[in-house]
Amino acid sequence: MKEFLQPLLDWYLQSLKAGGYPLVALLMAIESSIVPLPSEVVIPPAAHLAWQDGLVFLGITFTGWTAQAGLVLAGTIGSWVGASAMYWASRLAGRPLVMRYGKYVLIPSSKVEGAERWTACYGSFGIFASRLLPVVRHLIGIPAGIVRMNYLQFSLYTLLGSGIWCAVLCWLGVKIGGDISKGAMHQVTLWSVGFLAVVGALYYLFVHRHLARKTEG
């Protein structure tokens, strides 16, 4: 795992020095689309790099918490762009088309139905909460678009949830990365992924059971 992950992280960190915030925004937009790119491997390494060396944007080097604020902003905007693309694609295509052909673009009907149950159960607040959960996070724009949820409302909850999620990931990148050397960046990501996976899995398990009981009832 280490041998596979470290070269990717090295490439990513080198690309960050050139791409900076726009690269983070692009990757987070991808993360909020149909592509399974975990935000846990996008934000924490960038946060650690920004804390140690700063990030350059428009010729200005941002350091410390100012750099972290920039990452939160870039990640939030990117997440909103990706989620909005999913929202409008689903709204224009409609449920039958998504359910029939979604499996060909990594959106199986089971995931769509799960996201629909989530939306039906929690409504607008579910959009906010979904941005803090694995699996549901990058798919929530689909049922929101299908049911034609108010786009401004969808955007507001998406921005709020994404902002909090990105802030948590930045904090993890700074705190975990501060205890190890830059040469061990894979440990930052592995610890971040492990920690968030456990918390997310426990919370999602609770929600899944809650939804299942409600559906049976």
Distance CA 199, CA 7 (A): 27
Q: What percent of the chain has pLDDT over 70?
A: 65
DSSP symbols for 26-77: HHHHHHTTTS---GGGTHHHHHHHHHHH-EEETTEEE-HHHHHHHHHHHHHH
In the predicted structure, residue 46 carries a pLDDT above the cut 70: yes
Comparing 5-14, 30-39, 117-126, 205-214, which segment has the lowest mean pLDDT?
205-214
In the predicted structure, residue 189 carries a pLDDT above the cut 70: no
- Give kind and range of the element (H or E) at residue 147: none
Report which of residues 17 and 7 the model is more confident about.
17
Kindly indicate the confidence band of residue 145, based on its pLDDT and cuts at 50, 70 and 90. confident
What lies within 8 Å, CB to CB, of 140 at 6+ separation is 83, 115, 118, 119, 126, 127, 130, 131
DSSP symbols for 54-68: -EEETTEEE-HHHHH
In the predicted structure, residue 214 carries a pLDDT above the cut 90: no
Q: How far apart are the first and last CA of the chain?
A: 44
Q: How far is CA 168 from the centre of its chain?
A: 11
Q: Which of 102, 90, 101 is nearest to 146 (CA)?
A: 90
In the predicted structure, residue 20 carries a pLDDT above the cut 90: no
Kindly indicate the confidence band of residue 183, based on its pLDDT and cuts at 50, 70 and 90. very low
Task: Give whole-number Cα distances, 71 to 10, 20, 75, 144, in Å.
Answer: 19, 9, 6, 26
Supply angle C-alpha 82, 83, 86, rounded to 5.
90
Give domain limits for the chain: 2-216
